[in-house]
């Protein structure tokens, strides 16, 4: 049986895939913060709150259409959830489909995402989630 945190993240993925950034915002805590690492972003940056999430996705929507997260699985580590996923999008100019596989580590507070960290490998995501839990 999936935990409550895993269920929240799954519902967030579904909402994002259905309604884009507007779909994910109800799952985002006002104190949300995420930093995109250089190995997974063309322009690494830190994004805070709902405005930050909108700014994060605005950078995608400038050059891509049909942005969605294709989940491959979810794993709970303490109170964090690791999402194995592929970011899929279509280039606005080229029409070419693009995919980037990565791992998100979601931290939740009060049933909402307070932070997301991105990692290129499951080992790195798991190690980070365990370290955050103190183990």
Domain count, the chain: 1
Round to whole Å and give the CA distance between 62 and 101.
21
Check whether 1 has a pLDDT greater than 80: no
CB atoms within 10 A of CB 93: 7
Q: Which domain holds residue 111?
A: 4-132
Lowest mean pLDDT among 42-46, 81-85, 108-112: 42-46
Give how far Cα 56 sits from Cα of 8, 29, 127, 129, Å: 21, 15, 25, 23
Task: Read off the CATH number of the domain in which 34 is found.
Answer: 3.10.450.50
Residue 37 and residue 118 in contact, taking contact as beta carbons nearer than 8 Å = yes
Which residues make Cβ contacts (< 8 Å) with residue 19, sequence separation at least 6? none
3-43, pLDDT tens digit by residue? Answer: 999 999 999 999 999 999 999 999 999 999 998 888 877 77
């Amino acid at each position: 049986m999936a935990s409550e945190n895993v269920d929240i993240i799954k519902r967030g993925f579904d909402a994002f895939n259905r309604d884009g950034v507007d779909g994910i915002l109800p799952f985002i805590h006002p104190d949300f913060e995420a930093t995109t690492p250089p190995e997974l972003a063309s322009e690494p940056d830190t994004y805070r709150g709902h405005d930050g999430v909108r700014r994060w996705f605005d950078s995608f929507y400038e050059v891509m259409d049909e942005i969605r997260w294709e989940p491959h699985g979810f794993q709970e580590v303490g109170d964090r959830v690791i999402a194995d996923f592929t970011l899929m999008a279509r280039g606005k100019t080229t029409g070419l489909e693009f995919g980037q596989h990565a791992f998100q580590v979601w931290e939740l507070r009060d049933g909402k995402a307070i932070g997301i960290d991105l990692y290129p490998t499951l080992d790195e995501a798991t190690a980070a989630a365990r370290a955050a839990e103190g183990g």
